[in-house]
Each structure stands twice: as C-alpha cells, then as structure tokens.
C-alpha cells in the first residue's frame, strides 16, 4: 500500500517526467525548424524550371526579344516569347540570367520558332530552357545575319 507521502512522490515524479518530455520535444522541434534550409528566390525559380521541364507539355512558340541590362550593369536577362494553347495566346518572359549558355543562343534566335514547355494545369507557367533542356533552335551562322 502506498502512503500519502509516497503517492505525492509518485505524482511529482510523473509530472517531472512529463515536463521533461515536453521540453525535449519542443527543443527538438525548434532545432529542426532552425536547421531547415530556407530557399532563395533564385533557388525557387530553378526548382520551378525543373518542375515544368519534368511535367510540362511541349508546344511551339516564337522568340520575340531578349531584354538585357545596359552593358556593365547587373540585372536580369529576360527572353520574351509567345505561344498558343487551346486557342489562347500567351506572351510571357523567362529570366535566363542563371543560364549563361542559353543567353548567347537566344541572341541569335530572336524572331525564330522554338519549342517550349508549359504546365498543363497552368499554361501560363512555361519555360523555353532550363538546366536540363532547351527548346531553342540550333542557329547556323549563315541564318543569323547582321543584327544592330
């Protein structure tokens, strides 16, 4: 038989153990939260491009322009293109600053037809190139001509 003094000791011990378990759970949760990697805007854009590449449907479009910052200045490089899906024409731009090998290709392909990928459930979410794929046409030097 447990005496009243022993009963109080048992209750105190159970309460102490419950408090310690709660404290350790909260500490572990905070540690996991603090160590979780926060993604930058560049990383989010890279993941978006790769997702559209993996799940996107291919269609034809036209490269309209390459928008670049003034020489010597930092800034985004945007390829502007248009395409049609289910009778709706989309004109959009993609930041290709993180894809330096694509920038030179776009300069030579302005005005040409290219392949692109778009997200089936959100056709406005599209790419013309990513780290693993490019829909840009191969342009031969004789096709390029003189550009001012």
Q: Say if residues 45 and 53 touch (Cβ distance below 8 Å).
A: no
Q: Say if residues 59 and 118 touch (Cβ distance below 8 Å).
A: yes
List, for residues 64-74, the tens digit of each pLDDT value.
Answer: 998 888 888 88
Q: Residue 87 pLDDT more than 60?
A: yes
Domain boundaries, given as residue ranges, for the chain: 1-36, 41-139
List, for residues 1-47, the tens digit of each pLDDT value.
Answer: 556 666 777 788 888 888 888 988 888 888 777 777 778 888 899 99
Tokens describing residue 39: 């993604």
CA distances 47 to 1, 24, 38, 52, 82, Å, are 65, 34, 13, 9, 22
| pTM for the structure as a whole | 0.66
Give the pLDDT confidence score for residue 145 in this predicted structure.
46
How far is it, in rounded angstroms, from Cα 19 to Cα 49?
47
Q: Residue 97 pLDDT more than 60?
A: yes
């Amino acid at each position: 038989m447990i005496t009243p003094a022993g009963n109080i000791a048992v209750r105190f011990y159970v309460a102490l153990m419950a408090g310690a378990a709660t404290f350790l759970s909260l500490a572990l949760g905070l540690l996991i939260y603090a160590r979780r990697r926060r993604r930058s805007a560049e990383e989010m854009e890279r993941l978006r491009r790769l997702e559209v590449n993996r799940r996107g449907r291919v269609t034809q479009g036209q490269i309209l322009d390459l928008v670049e910052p003034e020489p010597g200045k930092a800034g985004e490089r945007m390829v502007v293109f248009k395409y049609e899906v289910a009778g709706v024409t989309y004109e959009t731009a993609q930041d290709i600053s993180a894809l330096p090998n694509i920038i030179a290709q776009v300069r030579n392909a302005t005005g040409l037809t290219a392949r692109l990928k778009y997200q089936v459930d959100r056709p406005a979410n599209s790419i013309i190139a990513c780290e693993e794929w490019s829909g840009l046409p191969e342009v031969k030097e004789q096709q390029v001509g003189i550009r001012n």
